[in-house]
Amino acid sequence: MVTDKDGYMHLIQYLTEHLGLFEGKEVVSVAGDTVMELFEELLSAQIIMLCGQNPSLTFAQRNTMIREIDAIVYDLEEILASVGKRNATPEQTLFITEFSGLIKNLFDQEIAKLVDASQ
């Protein structure tokens, strides 16, 4: 659905260009969420929002989206392996929030194509 699209590859490239944001010493954050916990929470929230915004999605389409998010989380775990268990800093939290929103935008585009194709 999205992981095989150019837009996703561009987002992964965007993440790798900003890996410096995730390097350095661990900082204790107010929330206490690790980098990967934050990614997982925000991506889950985006999928819930997508499903709520698109009640006409079939069960199979929703399952496809969930499998895609699982694949995205796996990719993130691979890319951020050395820092995924560190607490997220405020700057990292902002980046992760932005990145999760960009992932949602990819899904929005694909869902719009599905809806157009079914009409």
Using one digit for the tens of pLDDT, what is the confidence trace for 57-82?
Answer: 999 999 999 999 999 999 999 999 99
Residue range(s) defining the domain that contains residue 90: 6-118
- Note whether residue 28 is domain-resident: yes
- Note whether residue 41 is domain-resident: yes
- In this prediction, residue 24 carries a pLDDT of 73
- In angstroms, the CA 60 to CA 7 distance is 23
What pTM value is reported for the model?
A: 0.91
- Note whether residue 1 is domain-resident: no
How many distinct structural domains can be found in the chain? 1
- Note whether residue 35 is domain-resident: yes
Three-class secondary structure of residue 118 per DSSP: helix
Q: Which residues of the chain have pLDDT under 70?
A: 25-31
User: What angle separates helix 90-118 from helix 59-79, to the nearest 10 degrees?
Assistant: 150
